[in-house]
Structure 1
Amino acid sequence: MSQQMTTCRVPTAGADLEADVHLPADARGVVLFAHGSGSSRRSPRNRVVADVLHDRGFGTVLVDLLTADEERLDAVTHELRFDIGLLADRLTGILDWLHARPDTANTPLGLFGASTGAAAALVTAAARPQLVDAIVSRGGRPDLAETALSAVQAPTLLIVGSHDESVVDLNQEARTAMTAPNELLLIPGASHLFGEPGTLDQVADRAADWFSTHLTTLPS
Structure 2
Amino acid sequence: MAKPQVLRHWDWDDGTMRLRAELMTLLPGRVCSSTPELRHRLELPHDWWRELRASLAALREVDTMRVHLRQEDISRRLTVFFGDRVADTRVSEWAAAHTDLHWANLLAPECALADWEGWGVAPAGFDAACLYLHSLLVPEMAERVRVELAAELDSRDGLLSQLYVVGRMLLRVNAGDYPDLAVPLHHQADGIIAELSRR
Instruction: Normalising by structure 1, report the TM-score.
Output: 0.29
- Relative to total residues, which structure has the larger helix share, 1 or 2? 2
Q: Which has the larger radius of gyration?
A: 2
Instruction: Normalising by structure 2, report the TM-score.
Output: 0.31
Structure of higher RCO (CA pairs closer than 8 Å, 6+ residues apart): 2
